[in-house]
Structure 1
Amino acid sequence: MDFANELRIATLAVHRASILTNSVQSTIQNKGNSLEKDEFGDPVTIADFASQAVIINAIHHYFPNDTFVGEEDESMLRDSPEILERVWVLIQDLKEDGDEVPRLESKEDVLRVIGLGGKVETGKGRVWMLDPIDGTKAFLSGTQYAVSLALIVDGEQKVGVLGCPNIKAGSSEVREELIDRDGLGVLLSAVKGQGSFQRSMSLDGLGEPKKMEMLKDVGSVNELRYVNSMASSYISRPVYLAVKKACRLKTDEEVDLWSMHVKYAALTIGGVDAMVRIPPKKSYHSYVWDHAGGQLIYQEIGGKLTDLDGGKFDFGVGRKLEKNWGLVAAPPSVHGKLLEVVKHVLAENPIPE
């Protein structure tokens, strides 16, 4: 199965959600970050719900038997008519050219499609996993965030799409402060076994897809350039820094990005080579929507990803990656050596349960 139609509709959905979320981010920035919750609702909450509704509506129209795992559920909206009203207004304001996807006709339609995102069983059949806004802290600050969508079939990633409205098309690196002021960023996509592609986004449509080059080999772990988010409470900073020290890096330069999917975009686009995520507790496991799609896009240009035990990521065990702890991403030429370094450091610096 080539998943061509799934990719087409997923691309359409993510593009529309990128336009919607970018409009909210622009509104926040135009008000000088002074947008109050009581005048717009919580802007991130409003954009999150609206983005999820737009995405699920498009996918469900074409694939009515598929299920969904989304970050949001409709219970808050049912309990808060004021927030629901603001979500509804935002969706109605979205310009949608063409008739490929019918518009949501009522607030009840919005509640219905958002409610479809509560799937728990992910191991069998076709499941779409989505994060309507990945990187909410960066979203509020006007920097890099992503809209992510992935199709999982029997626990494995088959299609991945990332909308990155602030990454400049044609850029060879990703930074929080390097914002696309002229367009609507880029859309990255992949189908398993078919490579990864990049397209420019605008309010009027999408540019032609360009196949992305395969990763180049890195000769040694001391040549790696890292991406992470050092302010995150989901990593053990001291142990991570011990890993970098053990690699005896030629340069200690690091790219700091808040959004998980933007990190995957950075690994794919270039300027960085590796990412190591060591949780602060052994009991911590990431949500699937923080990784589904972005991982596939990176793997399809030749990147290697495992957990800290060297295991493959399993998206078929529910809303969290319960079988996987931590992450090592790097070119295959050095992934094994980097994983050895990580394991050695962890043996000397055990993580608490």
Structure 2
Amino acid sequence: MSDLELALHLADVADRITTARFRALDLSVDRKPDRTPVTDADIEVEDAVRRVLSDRRPDDVVAGEERGGSIGEGRTWVLDPIDGTKNFLRGVPAWATLIALVDGGRPVVGAISAPALGKRWWASAGGGAWCGTADRGPERISVSGVRDVADAYVSTTHLGTWSEHHSRDAYLRLVDACWENRAFGDFWHHCLVAEGVIDLAAEPVVNPWDVAAVQILVEEAGGTFTDLSGAPRFDGGNALSSNGHLHAEALELLKA
């Protein structure tokens, strides 16, 4: 089984758990030390994925949101069992399991599965970016061709995080320069950039497991992914995805 096949198998394992627990009346919710929520489904998914990896890739390192671990220079599987936990626990269907394989500090495989949306995205180095739905099957995806920020569609997460972690004024400069804006948030807006549905997705604060799978998806779709300093990394603490054409101007507008 190739690494990509394994990532998709892990997504299947996760989907069976998350779909069974989504909108469950007995869902258990707790708060982590950073006051973000965690459900019993988050823990169950990460533990299940780790068990499969222990069997299939015993020599690889695993780093996950709930059980920890470090990302080194070797092969590391980076897991976010449920990205969009706040949506998950409220019954909003915009959440996903994110699985990435990082090797030499770069994501080489990524899978993003959003079963409540009926969609899954995946990519591998040199293999392109793909999206699949139950009724249409796999389709190769690519970013938009929009070249003028005035024609661009931009998305972010919660606007308040810009005040806390970067600059609200900087994000509003970008919004004012663009044609349209929304806050799709989390994994979804990066996937929409990769699909060419929107053109920019900006986040003032992220963790590595939030965007490792996103980076390779956007890049393999022909786009650009960096932190807000312009470095092409998933562990820079913030993120900007774009179709590539708009990236430099968006970074300039986002300067704090």
Displacement, 1:21?
0.8
Displacement, 1:71?
0.9
Higher relative strand content: 2
Distance in 2 (CA, whole Å) between partners of 1:187 and 1:278 is 25
Q: Verify the 8 A CA contact 2:21 2:27 in the aligned structure 1.
A: no
Which of residues 206, 209, 213 in structure 1 aligns to 2:138?
209
For 1:133, the equivalent position in structure 2 comes to 82
Q: 1:325 to 1:128 in 2, by over 3 A?
A: closer
Residues 55-91 of structure 1: per-residue CA shift (max 9 Å, x gap): 1122221111111001112xxxxxxxxxxxxxxxxxx
Which of residues 96, 116, 119 in structure 2 aligns to 1:186?
119
* Structure number with bigger Rg: 1
Q: 1:40 to 1:139 in 2, by over 3 A?
A: closer
For 1:273, the equivalent position in structure 2 comes to 199
Q: Verify the 8 A CA contact 1:218 1:224 in the aligned structure 2.
A: yes
Q: Verify the 8 A CA contact 1:165 1:201 in the aligned structure 2.
A: no
Displacement, 1:300?
0.7
SS at match of 2:121: strand
For 2:59, the equivalent position in structure 1 comes to 65
Which of residues 243, 249, 255 in structure 2 aligns to 1:337?
249
Q: How does 1:223-234 map to 2 (within 5 A)?
A: 223-233=151-161
For 2:148, the equivalent position in structure 1 comes to 220
SS at match of 1:49: helix
Q: Which amino acid aligns with 2:123?
A: A
Distance in 2 (CA, whole Å) between partners of 1:333 and 1:155 is 25
SS at match of 2:122: strand
Q: Which amino acid aligns with 1:334?
A: L
Q: Verify the 8 A CA contact 2:100 2:107 in the aligned structure 1.
A: yes
SS at match of 1:262: helix
Displacement, 1:137?
0.8
Matched, 1:157 2:86: no
Structure 1 runs, 4 residues or longer, greater than 6 Å off: none
Structure 1, gaps ≥5 residues long:
28-34, 74-117, 168-184, 280-285, 316-320, 347-353
Displacement, 1:40?
4.6
Displacement, 1:198?
1.7
For 2:33, the equivalent position in structure 1 comes to none
Q: Which amino acid aligns with 2:143?
A: L
Matched, 1:7 2:1: no
Distance in 2 (CA, whole Å) between partners of 1:51 and 1:209 is 24
Distance in 2 (CA, whole Å) between partners of 1:17 and 1:158 is 20
Distance in 2 (CA, whole Å) between partners of 1:338 and 1:238 is 13
Q: Which amino acid aligns with 1:336?
A: A
Distance in 2 (CA, whole Å) between partners of 1:40 and 1:288 is 26
Which of residues 97, 100, 112 in structure 2 aligns to 1:147?
97
Q: 1:232 to 1:60 in 2, by over 3 A?
A: farther
Q: 1:294 to 1:244 in 2, by over 3 A?
A: same
Q: Verify the 8 A CA contact 1:230 1:237 in the aligned structure 2.
A: no
Displacement, 1:201?
4.8
Q: TM-score, normalised by structure 1?
A: 0.64
Residues 226-261 of structure 1: per-residue CA shift (max 9 Å, x gap): 11123553654333112322x2x3x3x323224x21
SS at match of 1:148: strand
Q: Which amino acid aligns with 2:109?
A: V
Q: 1:325 to 1:65 in 2, by over 3 A?
A: closer
Q: 1:25 to 1:237 in 2, by over 3 A?
A: farther
Matched, 1:254 2:181: yes
Q: How does 1:92-107 map to 2 (within 5 A)?
A: none
Structure 2, gaps ≥5 residues long:
31-37
Which of residues 289, 293, 299 in structure 1 aligns to 2:209?
289
Task: Please tell me the root mean square deviation across aligned C-alpha atoms, in Å.
Answer: 2.2
In the alignment of these two chains, the number of paired residues is 245
SS at match of 1:293: helix
SS at match of 1:209: strand
